[in-house]
């Protein structure tokens, strides 16, 4: 099985954001993307999720893989409770409650999204993705808005699942990347050619 971007070119408008980008990912573990704003990190995630299509090249994800994306927009349904949101795509009836407990939101299960802070809403979106038990978990800056204790709690949750799935994380700080003990690709615009990960 291959998870990769192969000679991918993608642009918004006339100027390419990614040009002939190639990078192969492992089937399991945690992998980070880092770099300045606007360099293509979120776009690489969206390409893996199938939400964008490259102008040329190929994006390879195994057929049948369950993909759990968490982007900058939390996209919680406002008319459903937190538990109902998380349970929408849960792998089994108990997965939603377990996921909420793991992200520290068990006491907020009956609340509605408008009652949550920004950081709480991001944790609810993460719980929804984790409850799917995905093969591929895509996280765009999951530590934003979280205090140090919560950051460690979320990092521990991701580390526990590293042998069961591939998690690709957009992470800006060295502290976040080191918490995840992840290989990292540093993107420098313009992003072109073969990309090589490093272990910090």
CATH number of the domain within which 181 lies: 3.40.50.300
Could you tell me the pTM of the whole model?
0.93
Distance of CA 90 to the CA centre of its chain: 17
* Domain around 21: 3-65+135-199
Report the pLDDT value the prediction gives residue 172, as an integer from 0 to 100: 82
Mean pLDDT of 90-99: 91
Query: Domain ends where: 112, 132, 152?
Result: 132
Bin 124: left if φ > 0, else alpha if -120 < ψ < 50, else beta. Answer: alpha
The 10s digit of each residue's pLDDT in 104-116 is 999 999 999 999 9
Mean pLDDT of 77-95: 93
Asked if residue 52 has pLDDT above 90, the reply is yes
Asked if residue 64 has pLDDT above 90, the reply is yes
Instruction: Establish if 110 belongs to a structural domain.
Output: yes
Instruction: Establish if 182 belongs to a structural domain.
Output: yes
Asked if residue 129 has pLDDT above 90, the reply is yes
Report the pLDDT value the prediction gives residue 188, as an integer from 0 to 100: 87
Asked if residue 164 lies in contact with residue 179, where contact means CB atoms within 8 angstroms, the answer is no
Report the pLDDT value the prediction gives residue 32, as an integer from 0 to 100: 95
What total of structural domains would you count in the chain?
Answer: 2
Instruction: Establish if 126 belongs to a structural domain.
Output: yes
Mean pLDDT of 179-200: 88
Asked if residue 14 has pLDDT above 80, the reply is no
- In terms of DSSP H, where are the helices of 36-92? 41-49, 82-87
For the sheet containing 56-60, what is the strand order? 56-60, 3-12, 15-25, 191-194
Q: How confident is the model at residue 146 (pLDDT cuts 50, 70, 90)?
A: confident
Asked if residue 33 lies in contact with residue 183, where contact means CB atoms within 8 angstroms, the answer is no
Q: Are residues 111 and 167 in the same domain?
A: no
Query: Domain ends where: 92, 110, 132?
Result: 132
Instruction: Establish if 71 belongs to a structural domain.
Output: no
């Amino acid at each position: 099985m291959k998870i990769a971007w192969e000679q991918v070119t993608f642009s918004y408008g006339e100027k390419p954001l990614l040009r002939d980008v190639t990078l192969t990912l492992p089937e399991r573990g945690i992998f980070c993307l880092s770099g300045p704003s606007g360099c293509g990190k979120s776009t690489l995630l969206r390409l893996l999720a199938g939400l964008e299509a490259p102008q040329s090249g190929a994006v390879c994800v195994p057929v049948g893989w369950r993909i759990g994306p968490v982007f900058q927009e939390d996209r919680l349904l406002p008319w459903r409770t937190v538990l109902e949101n998380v349970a929408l795509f849960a792998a089994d009836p108990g997965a939603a409650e377990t996921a909420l407990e793991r992200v520290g939101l068990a006491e907020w299960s009956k609340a509605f999204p408008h009652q949550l802070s920004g950081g709480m809403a991001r944790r609810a979106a993460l719980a929804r993705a984790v409850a799917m038990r995905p093969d591929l978990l895509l996280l765009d800056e999951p530590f934003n808005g979280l205090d140090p204790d919560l950051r460690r709690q979320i990092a521990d949750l991701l580390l526990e699942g590293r042998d069961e799935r591939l998690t690709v994380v957009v992470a800006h700080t060295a502290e976040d990347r080191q918490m995840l003990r992840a290989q990292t690709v540093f993107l420098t615009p313009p992003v072109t050619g073969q990309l090589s990960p490093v272990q910090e």
